[in-house]
Amino acid sequence: MDYSFWGTALLTAALASAGVQAGLGLWPGGQERHVAVASAAAVALMLSLVTAFGVLMTAYATTDLSLLNVFTNSHSLKPLAYKLSGTWGNHEGSLLLWLMILAGFGAAMAFSRRGSWQTRRLALGVQGLLSFAFVAFTLLTSSPFEPYPANWPTPFDGQGLNPLLQDPGLAIHPPTLYVGYVGLSAVFSFTVAALIEGRLDREWAKTVRPFLLVAWSALTLGIGLGAFWAYYELGWGGFWFWDPVENASLMPWLAGTALLHCVMVVERRDALKPWCAALAILAFGASLLGTFLVRSGIVTSVHAFANDPERGLFLLMLTVLFTGGGFLLFAWRGGALTNDQAFEPVSREGALVINNLLLSVLLFTVFLGTFWPTVVEVSTGSRITVGPPYYNVMAGPLAVLLAGTLAFGLLVPWRTPGKGGWQRSMMIIAGVSVVATLILLTLTGGTALAAMGLIASVMVVGGVVADLARKAGLPGASASAAMRRLGGLSSRQWGSILAHGGVALMLLGITVSTTFQQEVRAPLAPGQSITLGGLAFTYEGRTGQAGANFIAEVDRFTVRKDDQVIAQMSPSRRYYPAADQATTEVAIKRLGLGNLYLASGATQDGGETRIVRAYRHPLIHLLWTGAVLIALGGLIAAFPATRAARVRQPENQTVEATP
Amino acid sequence: MIAVMALIVLMQAAPVDEARAQRLDAQLRCVVCQNQSIADSDAELANVMRELVRERMAAGDSDDEVLAYVTDRYGEYVLLNPSRSAKNMVLWMGPMIALVFGGALAFSVFRTGAKPQE
């Protein structure tokens, strides 16, 4: 099969479909029957991109070197799974995956039945325009279907994939993350349509909600997977390095988190509409910025693709065009969106306003930290670094405020301060969190950062527990009545409980695993031991091993506690000849909710002595569990069960725990 | 008795020093690595920089003096905690200003939204 020809033909067909979708969707004289045609174009666009992706994947599976992209990024000796995942392990292939997901959301929008046909037509048009621009970008600058140049020497084999990317975590991390990034495009398109129409209302909120929650859950999971990959594959002993590309994924997540709370206010109370529209544009703008950042070469990062300034400029233009265009439209039409429902400051709306404010400030902080080094370098020529100490100082206090707002927001009723039953719960939560933190820190010793993290975690736990208790009618109700009341909660309420519970676990996991981390580094000859937190690690020696496409040195360690062997651990170092690159494969042993983490460094003294880094990360599994719970909560809330939808929930639940 | 107490004090002092050294390591970027502190890096240069930190500590430098010494040799790029200098004003003050400005905005939302219904 001529992969280059068919791939390019399919991309051209996709461009044409996107053109039809955009034209019919945005043409001023459009009529209702055009919606069906634009929808059909959206589906055609999706199908042609899925097929194009399939073509590329087949070329990777068979290591067909007639494609330049396969030659540059694959190798016939790789395991099949990594040949397939290698399809999106490079700039061009991952861009095609990005496009495919964009078109997938476009097709899903075509099946959305909410709102007027005018709004749906406009939204499809905007999504079509996005698709058109990015398919054109791919065809013009980054086609994965570029043939292997005829005048180059006949290749023997491909150049191989970066060994760091040959990993299950990295195989699923980008697709998940992209569903998150690109899913926000649907929210953007519906918002731009609403702005053009001058009507952003409850119907808009109901329309964007499932798209937003699916995207946000995927983004949560994608960021979590990225952190997990960094933790066990990089071997640096941490999971988050405030790396520019990590920040690039965090920014849309922060905007998305603020937005989904704001959308809730629009849906329930028909308020905060202009702010919501601005956030929707910002969230997708941040996604585009992330896409641009990874591929532009403007920042260095472990996650960045091979960089090319020319592509970067093109992507920057698209980012500015769509984000700037969105904000211009907002400036022009945003005034038409009126806040027509009043609320008092001490109310759930008030809490959500504060939540949005704090998340936005955090977003701005991450933005400053990411781009300030570039600003300084361009303006003064000197290079600076913005690293973890900066973000910790800035994010710590914000996390405490956010956690307090979260607990308050869960307990206070909509619209008014109510009868104030929440005040007692809040006092208890604040008191318990401070006292618990003080006790823990006096017992174990710890930094201000640990204190802030612990206070924040306990406050969120308190908020979630108090919310559950109130929903169950406790204290007061009998056990069976409480269970019955909890069983009657809607899937949206369970989604909220799960997600906020996940936030509590995640905060606790992050705080404890980083601030109470123990680490030791030492050169060890075979037979020697190091101790860390009451555990003795003995270096037994090493053996050689050959893998499918690498050779490895495997070290053996025995871990003892009070002279009892509790674990055998085998960290290793791999060498991949195809890429001429070495990787560290850490050994991780779970102990309770924490981990022992062992990484082999370089050898010294003629190769016998090994430099070893050993860590204990207490409670780190709470972090992974928390991330999964947050994503799960979002997904559960995205698709309310039909039964729960039919059993009408009271619109404004202002039930209070009156003691 | 005194010797035993001195020994206990010494034994306690040694790990405390290493903890201080690790705290300093975590604030210094390994120049040849990608966004990694010298505390986490296995690179040769990170070893050299860690040695330097311990040398300066042994010479009696305070934390700030150690950081200043390393910065003099490797440039401001190594500081993971950016300096609070004039050129980084925006970086350090920006979030605070945003919070105050945003707070004022939120307050105005409350003012207009504060007309209770009924």
Closest Cα of chain A to B8: distance in Å?
A: 18
Residues of B in contact with A387 (CB under 8 A): 27, 29, 35, 37, 79-82
CA pair distance A615, A602, nearest whole angstrom: 17
**In chain A, what's the furthest Cα-to-Cα distance?**
83
The partner residue sitting opposite A385, judged by closest CB among B29, B94, B117, is: B29
The predicted structure's pLDDT at residue A604:
78
Q: Do B98 and A237 touch (CB under 8 A)?
A: no
pLDDT in tens, A555-576: 999 999 998 999 999 999 888 8
Residues of B in contact with A360 (CB under 8 A): 98, 102
Mutate to test the interface with A, among B11, B12, B16, B34 (most CBs of A within 10 A): B34
- Interface residues from chain B to A (CB-CB < 8 Å): 22, 26-27, 29, 34-37, 39-42, 44, 75-83, 87-88, 90-91, 94-95, 98-99, 102-103, 105-106, 109-110, 112-117
CA pair distance A646, A48, nearest whole angstrom: 38
User: CB–CB of A262/A216 below 8 Å?
Assistant: no
Closest Cα of chain B to A495: distance in Å?
A: 27
- C-alpha distances in angstroms, A191 versus A196, A203, A337, A498, B46? 9, 11, 12, 28, 49
Q: Do A385 and B82 touch (CB under 8 A)?
A: yes
Residues with pLDDT less than 70, chain A: 296-309, 339-340, 641-659
The predicted structure's pLDDT at residue B5:
52
Mutate to test the interface with B, among A357, A412, A516, A654 (most CBs of B within 10 A): A357
Task: Give the position of tokens 């719960």.
Answer: A425
Mutate to test the interface with B, among A346, A384, A386, A532 (most CBs of B within 10 A): A384
Q: Do B91 and A390 touch (CB under 8 A)?
A: yes
Q: What are phi and psi for residue A572, nearest 5 degrees? A: -145, 170
Q: Do B91 and A386 touch (CB under 8 A)?
A: yes
CA pair distance A386, A369, nearest whole angstrom: 6
Closest Cα of chain B to A385: distance in Å?
A: 5
Q: Is the dihedral of CA A313, A314, A319, A320 positive or negative?
A: positive
The secondary structure of A406-448 as a DSSP string is HHHHHHSPSSS-TT-HHHHHHHHHHHHHHHHHHHHHHHH---H
Other Cβ atoms within 10 Å of A640 Cβ, number: 16
Nearest CA in chain A to B107: A345
Closest Cα of chain B to A97: distance in Å?
A: 27
Q: Do B110 and A350 touch (CB under 8 A)?
A: yes
Alpha-helical segments (H) within chain B: 2-25, 44-58, 63-74, 89-113
Residues of B in contact with A386 (CB under 8 A): 80, 82, 91
- C-alpha distances in angstroms, A589 versus A3, A71, A168, A418, A586? 45, 38, 19, 50, 10
Give the β-pairing of A572-576 and A609-617: unpaired
**Residues 6 or more apart in contact with residue B19 via CB below 8 angstroms:** none
Give the β-pairing of A564-569 and A551-561: antiparallel
Q: Do A613 and B42 touch (CB under 8 A)?
A: yes
- The structure tokens listed for A143 are 């086609």
CA pair distance A238, A236, nearest whole angstrom: 6
Closest Cα of chain A to B94: distance in Å?
A: 7
Nearest CA in chain A to B89: A372
CA pair distance A263, A194, nearest whole angstrom: 14
Other Cβ atoms within 10 Å of A483 Cβ, number: 12
Count of A-B CB contacts under 8 Å: 126
Q: Is the dihedral of CA A10, A13, A17, A23 positive or negative?
A: positive
Closest Cα of chain A to B32: distance in Å?
A: 12
Q: Write out the E strands in A442-550.
A: 518-524, 529-532, 535-546
Residues with pLDDT less than 50, chain B: 7-16, 114-118
Amino acid (1-letter code) at residue A179: V
Q: Do B36 and A241 touch (CB under 8 A)?
A: yes
Other Cβ atoms within 10 Å of A659 Cβ, number: 8
Task: Give the position of tokens 């495997």.
Answer: A554
The secondary structure of residue A516, as a DSSP letter, is T
Mutate to test the interface with B, among A379, A444, A521 (most CBs of B within 10 A): A521
CA pair distance A199, A336, nearest whole angstrom: 8
Residues of A in contact with B110 (CB under 8 A): 344-345, 350, 353
Residues of B in contact with A300 (CB under 8 A): 34-35
Task: Provide the residue count of chain A.
Answer: 659
User: CB–CB of A404/A430 below 8 Å?
Assistant: yes
The partner residue sitting opposite B90, judged by closest CB among A271, A349, A368, is: A368
Residues of B in contact with A613 (CB under 8 A): 40, 42
Percent of chain A with pLDDT over 90: 50
CA pair distance A635, A393, nearest whole angstrom: 32
Using CB atoms within 10 A of its CB, is residue A445 exposed (0-12), middle (13-18) or buried (19+)? Answer: exposed
Residues of B in contact with A368 (CB under 8 A): 90-91, 94-95
The CA-to-CA distance between both ends of chain B, in Å, stands at 81
Residues of A in contact with B78 (CB under 8 A): 385
The partner residue sitting opposite A383, judged by closest CB among B75, B88, B102, is: B75
User: CB–CB of A539/A612 below 8 Å?
Assistant: yes
User: CB–CB of A383/B31 below 8 Å?
Assistant: no
Q: Do B91 and A611 touch (CB under 8 A)?
A: no
Q: Do B95 and A394 touch (CB under 8 A)?
A: yes
Residues of A in contact with B116 (CB under 8 A): 342, 344, 416
CA pair distance A298, A308, nearest whole angstrom: 9
Q: Do B116 and A238 touch (CB under 8 A)?
A: no
Q: Do A361 and B102 touch (CB under 8 A)?
A: yes
Q: Do B40 and A382 touch (CB under 8 A)?
A: no
pLDDT in tens, A406-434: 999 999 888 888 777 788 888 889 999 88
Nearest CA in chain A to B98: A361
